[in-house]
Chains A and B, each alone.
Chain A
Amino acid sequence: MANPVDYSDVQGLLRFGYNSLTEATFLLLRIRDAAAASAWIAAAPITNAIELDQAPATALQIAITRQGLEALRVPANVIAGLADEFISGMCGEENRSRRLGDIGANAPEYWRWGVGEKIPQVLAMLYARKGQLASFAETIKGPSWQVAFDVLDALPTSDLQGVEPFGFTDGISQPTLDWRQLRTAATQAVYTNDSCLGEFLLGYQNEYGRYTDRPLLPATASNAGLLDAPDAPGMRDLGRNGTYLVFRQLQQDVRGFWQFVNGQAKGDTPARERLAGAMVGRTRQGDPLEMASGAIAGVGKSMPSNQFNYDSDADGRRCPFGAHIRRANPRNADFPAGTSGLFSELLHNLGFTKVGFREDIMSSTRFHRLLRRGREYGPGLSTEQALQPDYPDSQEHGINFICLNANISRQFEFVQGAWLMNTKFNGMNGESDPLLGNRQPIPGCPVTSSFLIPQEHGVARRVEGLPRFVTVRGGAYFFLPGLRALKFLCSYAKPSADEDKIRAVN
């Protein structure tokens, strides 16, 4: 391997979900004192990606926004090497908000955090085994914490045993990262779950066989702690072993969801389960909907619920085109099903094959994968409880959606904008994601709140008037650096002699 991964330099979240660490909190921090914050981060016991015999009892991960880098006095020309979307921020451009669906009730003006003075600068992610989170938090904070940071918010999480608040098993589909870098970027005639490492880790080849742009610094004594850039001789790689972390706090209206579905099903339990399953694209247990299963490259045998694609369901009669998981990952290859051989590819490329109305309109999914690391929050609410009109339900439910990707615009923003929020996804009309859609009208399309379920007969069942079930409460784009890079980023803000004196006097 020409470019082996040094796991001790990679934050563990890239490799592990820390599922056995069932307690977690996400601290959104503002920097109070740059030097103290730098010193704290540089000394923090951040968990790396080395695989241990036994899962650790606790884990700590650190990510930083553009505002955080500025506060740490990282020079503008260094920051300018990071992605444009990261620099601009999740709500830095109205156009981005339109594409991400952050309009109407989801508009940044209503967010609790992530806008203006409430943009976190540092994200500290704390994970611990049951019962150990509070003591872990105390231990790591230490005496300089108060000097270094203001806590903007401490987002709690809850352990719903792998089930998201609506009641469906979550996190089943994840790309398989090619840590050993055996995969070469090449045309894929068949859907695969494998991903080139560079899709998720900067400093490695991506699905185009290229290195995603990141800050490269001319090698000097001051950046000797950084790794060399594999694609640019004489340059040090600030991005290497790092990635971008997308964070969105999504509130889920669990009662609204089940009451709507129950109303559509006229109170019939099996019909209710079928409709909810059609909206998600899986049963509650996580099984795909009657999908013909077959071996999918990059999916382990232990994951039968991931061994499928939609080739056997071209008319959406098993899993509706608009189902959440079919939007989020259409499981497409580079060519439509049945294309094999160079000649067949050539005919397709030239558009000389006859294709049906919906055929070959989707993008290939291998360029648009996300590594999801979210956690639920709020107490669990069963469907029965959700349907009781007077069940006490004062606490909020939701998910702290977190995903990792090396190219925010091509991965997260594409999946969110072109697939989930798109009212015209896959040749459809008047719908958006049945779970995540904001139901806002767009020019020429007053209705975006339908959900179509194709039927055997031909006349599809059209569920109309879906309310908004999910509301964005905050969000930000973070850089999750490699550990050497993180230390380097903390080297700009040294306490000045004056500050030391002031401290000595105090």
Chain B
Amino acid sequence: MVLAPVASGRVNELRRVLASMNGLPGTADPHNALIPFAQFETLHFARLLVLEDETLDDITKYGLPRVNYPTYLAFLADFDGDASAFVDELLLKAGGGVTRIFSYCEGFEPTADLRHWIEAHRASPATAYVNLIGRTSRQVSEEAALHDSLVSYVAQNSANLKSMSPGSAHQAMAQYVRGEQHAGRLTLTSMAATPLAWRLRNFVNLVGVPLVLLLLTPILLIYLPFFLIQLRWHEKNDPEIAPRITPAHAHQLAILEDHDVTNQFSAMGSLKPGVFRRWTLVFILWVIDYTARHIYGRGRLARVSTIHFARWVFLDNKKRLLFASNYDGSLESYMDDFINKVGFGLNVVFGNGIGYPRTRFLLLDGAKDEQKFKYVLRRHELATEVWYNAHPGLTALDRHRNMLIREGLEKPAMSDEEARLWLQLI
């Protein structure tokens, strides 16, 4: 993510430039003149938005003065491979457009080295979630084409396939796909090996985090009773700020949503004041990041299978937090999952934000106060000015199914029972 303060008085101009990148409201034209997203083969999702927080007055409920944080421009992209390779490609294919966009930011000199500027303005997420770690954008496209091709094959040959055993049907379809590949109508690129450097880093994290936790355990255990006392005190005294959002704000968000089966969500807010909440959240996001890397990157975030990518990014010396995700379905169904399936997960993070519905021991209540929770979420939601999805119409579950189809196809032989289950996917 690239994050840069917008030069004062230029937010509206910037918004107009961003809007010029769109085909539909909020949805990028893949071939727009500034950043032609369609040309980036490794890209899954991208967004550009202005981080203008309308809830900065909330802190006055604590008797503290409002802080006028900068209004930022944020550029987020979810891509395969290294960041430096993506930046190279960005400079090559959209150097002019990116320069134009960043020229609305403070201290940007069009003559300065763009790469250097981007590097200087990169913000790393505290936590990043990927639905399926290692599945490339190219793989998503190829497997979707495979699925479509098999669907039409089955439609044309259903009588024939039903007369075979499921195992033989699997063989027949594998043979058909080989023929299609041979004829150049289907491509299934074999998966590139995971780079050694990535695997090493991942391993260090896999072992390192529990090791650090283990070392910290004595201190954490001693601190735990004090932590709980502090926590309960805060939970009883922190104000809830959950008014209904204005019709104008609701409309501004609604025009951007539900054009595709996948939607974007961006929200920001301030942490509750004081070091207690700040370090609690740092610790929690550190642990969630670990679980996202090593446990959840296989298609589901706890019980939720509709999130493609999500990230939590600290801003302004950990005084504020940005959350950005790509999810399937409407916001109402996203919030339904939040409340009914992973309420505890929302509570442990956003419970440290100003105004959140009252939690109990950080895990309980909070999101279960359904309407207040929805108001708070909507109130902190930002209009995502430009959003790009490389694979519109494909839910995370579609992508998962297509991958299972391909994996099954590449098995040399299947028992009839295995094959029957595999055939059900098509």
Contact = CB atoms under 8 A, between A and B. Distances in A.
B360 interface: no
A445 to B, nearest CB: 4
A464 B151 CA distance: 11
A350 to B, nearest CB: 6
A363 B420 CA distance: 27
Interface in B299-314: 300-303, 305-306
Nearest to B302: A351
A394 to B, nearest CB: 38
A298 to B, nearest CB: 19
Nearest to B154: A459
Given A457-B166, A459-B154, A84 B247 contact: yes
B235 interface: no
Given A444-B394, A459-B162, A98 B332 contact: no
Contacts of A84: 244, 247, 250
Contacts of B420: 457-458
Contact of B397 (A93, A94, A423, A427): A427
Interface string B136-175: 0000000000010001001100100110001001000000
A349 B257 contact: no
A348 B169 contact: no
- Best-buried of B169, B295, B393, B395 by chain A (most CB within 10 Å): B393
A87 interface: yes
A443 B393 contact: yes
Contact of A424 (B258, B397, B404): B397
Interface stretch (A3-11, A228-236, A412-420): A412-420
A328 to B, nearest CB: 15
B340 to A, nearest CB: 6
Given A87-B247, A351-B302, A357-B400, A424 B261 contact: yes
Nearest to A358: B397
A415 to B, nearest CB: 11
B336 A367 contact: yes
B58 to A, nearest CB: 20
A414 B332 contact: yes
B370 interface: yes
Nearest to B254: A95
A212 interface: yes
- Best-buried of B371, B395, B404 by chain A (most CB within 10 Å): B371
A281 to B, nearest CB: 19
Contact of A427 (B368, B370, B401): B401
Interface residues of B, number: 62
Contacts of A349: 302-303, 341-342, 344
Contacts of A208: 339, 368-370
Contacts of B247: 84, 87-88
Contact of B332 (A413, A454, A461): A413
A213 interface: yes
Given A410-B332, A444-B392, A210 B370 contact: yes
A334 interface: yes
Given A93-B251, A95-B257, A458-B419, A464 B336 contact: no
A457 B423 contact: yes
Contacts of A88: 247
A364 B337 CA distance: 9
A442 B425 CA distance: 22
Interface string B240-258: 0000100100110011011
B117 to A, nearest CB: 34
Contacts of A351: 295-296, 300-303
B426 interface: yes
B367 to A, nearest CB: 10
A97 B322 CA distance: 30
B332 A459 contact: no
A430 to B, nearest CB: 8
A315 B251 contact: no
Interface of A: 84, 87-88, 93-96, 98-99, 208, 210, 212-213, 315, 334, 348-352, 355, 357, 360-361, 363-364, 367, 409-410, 413-414, 417-418, 422-424, 427, 429, 442-445, 454-455, 457-462, 464
29 contacts: A87-B247, A88-B247, A95-B257, A98-B258, A99-B330, A210-B371, A212-B371, A349-B302, A349-B344, A351-B300, A351-B303, A357-B401, A357-B425, A363-B333, A414-B336, A418-B330, A418-B332, A424-B261, A429-B147, A442-B260, A443-B260, A444-B260, A444-B392, A454-B424, A457-B162, A458-B424, A459-B158, A459-B162, A464-B155
Given A458-B169, A462-B154, 5 more contacts: A96-B254, A208-B369, A367-B336, A413-B332, A458-B420
